[in-house]
Amino acid sequence: MTFRLLFKEEAKKEWDHLDASVRNLFVKKLTKYIEQPCIESMRLNGMKACYKIKLRRIGYRLVYQVRDGALVISSVVIGKRERNHAYKAAIRKI
């Protein structure tokens, strides 16, 4: 099953402000996961049906939810995993 890709309004603004090269890296990853987005190793603890995509080298995180046949981009966060900064920011946006 192929999932639809949707953006929350705030996440769309974050997406539009990303450099094109960063967006392209996320597009490659999203293309890979659009068929099967519920990968257990990418699941976020304490957040229902939420998953992450990491671009480790440049410190970007993308958080998405899987709802009703759609992969909903909730947040594009710049930040390292230290103290879960990026994921705490994502929780506030969901």
**Quick one: three-class SS letters along 66-81?**
EECCEEEEEEEEECCC
Q: What is the number of domains present in the chain?
A: 1
pTM, to two decimals? 0.80
What residues act catalytically? 52, 81
CA 43 to chain centroid, in Å, comes to: 11
CATH number assigned to the domain comprising residue 87: 3.30.2310.20
Phi, psi dihedrals of residue 85, rounded to the nearest 5°: -50, -50
pLDDT band at 86 (very low <50, low <70, confident <90, very high): low
Condensed to tens digits (0 to 9), the pLDDT of residues 19-76 reads: 999 999 999 999 998 888 999 999 988 778 889 898 988 888 888 889 888 888 887 7
Note down the domain range covering 8.
4-93
pLDDT at 88: 67
